[in-house]
Amino acid sequence: MLNQRLKNALHNKNQPVDPHAELRDVLGDVGLAAEDSGGEITFVGADPIVPRTLSLASAPGIAQVAKSVGMAKLRQLRGGPGQDISMDLRKAPHRLCPFYEGKWEKLNGLLPVAYWDALPPDSVSMPLFYRTADDRHMMSVAIYPKLETDLLRLLDATDSVESVVPPIATAATDSATDRRIRLRDRGITHHGPARGRAGP
């Protein structure tokens, strides 16, 4: 599927993208829907933002909105209200170049640690893919302060790849919606067999 979409992009450059349709597709991969935000979802601007083969605005923008929908759903499960979500696609390409610009997203006002400088190669904070029971993949992205501690507590594991493989391998077979959301809440992103959540 991804291979064919990339071939199509090469032969049909600068094609418009329907971000709402692509968002539905991305959210469907993890059992969510746009309505799970509990509010209105809007996109400002549209691809092509810059001349390109791939959708350099829609891809990061839709991924950001998908994460926001997951967090809004989690908030509602904990008794909170729904949330309106707005994404300015004209600014979205900046999401792809944190190394170049030296600007990272903050979590609770904190920047991620420079994990590539100090961590051993088998640390769960390294961005590695782990296979699940239903042949999908999850990635641990525990690069923010305290996030690794929360992740290891959730998985009942220690800071090693060998220790986290078994609990992640069974995560997708657990039918409890709350566990799936808690996995995302603790820094694990979920990917389909052929493509990531960024969609287009």
**pTM for this entry:** 0.57
| Residues 16-75: tens digit of each pLDDT | 788 999 999 999 988 999 999 999 999 998 887 777 777 888 888 999 999 999 999 999
Q: Say how far apart CA 130 and CA 142 lie, in whole Å.
A: 14
What is the pLDDT at residue 111?
A: 76
What is the pLDDT at residue 144?
A: 76
Decide: helix, strand or coil at residue 41: strand
What is the pLDDT at residue 41?
A: 95
Quote the mean pLDDT of the chain.
Answer: 76
What is the pLDDT at residue 47?
A: 80
Residue 182 contacts residue 188 (beta carbons within 8 Å): no
CA dihedral (101, 151, 117, 165) in degrees, to 10, reads -120
For the chain, the 3-state helix, strand and coil shares in percent, each to the nearest 5, are 45, 10, 45
| Residues 100-110: tens digit of each pLDDT | 677 777 777 87
Look up residue 142 and give its two tokens. Answer: 């525990």
